[in-house]
Chain A
Amino acid sequence: MSAAVATLNRLFAWKIRGVRWVEIIGVLLVAAMVFSVYVAKAAAAREGARIADLERQITENGQRVRLLRAEVARLERPDRLETLSRGAGLGPVDVHRHATEDRLASLAPIPEPRPVVIVRTPASAPDSDAAPVDTPADTPVAAPALEAGE
Chain B
Amino acid sequence: MSAHDPHLGLRPAPSWGVRRFTPSWRWLTEAMWWVEHAFGRAHADARPEEDTRVRIFVILSVFSVVFFGLTLGAVHAAVLRAGGAGAAAGHPNAVVRADLVDRHGALLATNIVHYGLYIDPAEVWDRRAAVAQIRRALPRVSAARLNRALNGDRRLLVINRLTPQEKAAVHGLALGGLGFEPEDVRVYPLGESARHVVGTVDTGGVGLSAAERAFNDEIRAAGARGENFQISIDLRVQGVLENELAAAAAETQAKGAVGVITDVQTGEVLGMASWPAANSRNLASAATYEMGSVFKTFTVAAAIDTGRADMNTLLDASEALQIGNRRINDFHAQNKVMTLEEVYLHSSNIGTSLLATQMGPRVMRDYFDRFGLLATAPFEIPSENPITPRDWSDSTLASLSFGYGVSVTPLQVAAAMGALTNGGRYIPLTLRKGGRPDVRARQIVSPETSLILLDLMRRNVVRGSGGRAEAPGLRVGGKTGSANKSVNGRYSTAHAIGTFAGVFPADGPVGARRYQILLLIDEPQTYPRTGGFVAAPAVGRIADRIAPFLGVERKADAWRTAVGERIPAFEDLEGDGR
Mark A residues whose CB is within 8 Å of B. Answer: 55, 58-59, 62-63, 66-67, 69-74, 76-79, 81-82, 92, 95-96, 98
Contact = CB atoms under 8 A, between A and B. Distances in A.
Contact of A78 (B111, B187, B193): B193
Given A82-B239, A95-B563, A95-B564, A70 B544 contact: no
A61 to B, nearest CB: 10
B211 to A, nearest CB: 16
A66 B235 contact: no
Contact of A67 (B92, B164, B472): B164
A91 B373 CA distance: 39
Contacts of B189: 70-71, 73-74, 77
Interface string B203-247: 000000000000000000000000000000001101110110010
B62 interface: no
A44 B22 CA distance: 54
Given A59-B92, A79-B239, 7 more contacts: A69-B99, A70-B189, A74-B189, A77-B190, A77-B239, A78-B239, A98-B554
B110 A55 contact: no
Given A78-B235, A78-B243, A73 B111 contact: no
B488 interface: no
A58 B239 CA distance: 34
B320 interface: no
Interface of B: 92-93, 99, 106-108, 110-113, 164, 187, 189-193, 235-236, 238-240, 242-243, 246, 472-473, 541, 544-545, 554, 563-564
Contacts of A70: 107, 110, 112, 187, 189
29 contacts: A55-B92, A58-B92, A62-B92, A63-B112, A66-B112, A69-B99, A70-B107, A70-B187, A70-B189, A72-B107, A73-B106, A73-B107, A73-B190, A74-B189, A77-B189, A77-B191, A77-B193, A77-B239, A78-B193, A78-B239, A78-B240, A79-B243, A79-B246, A92-B544, A95-B472, A95-B473, A95-B544, A95-B564, A98-B554
B113 A82 contact: no
A96 B563 contact: yes
Given A58-B92, A63-B113, A78 B242 contact: yes
A77 to B, nearest CB: 5
A70 B188 CA distance: 8
Contact of A74 (B113, B190, B564): B190
Contacts of B544: 92, 95
B110 A69 contact: yes
Contacts of A78: 193, 235-236, 238-240, 242-243
B204 to A, nearest CB: 20
Nearest to A81: B239
Contacts of A55: 92
A69 B187 CA distance: 11
A63 B190 CA distance: 19
Contacts of A81: 239
Contacts of A92: 541, 544-545
Nearest to B194: A78
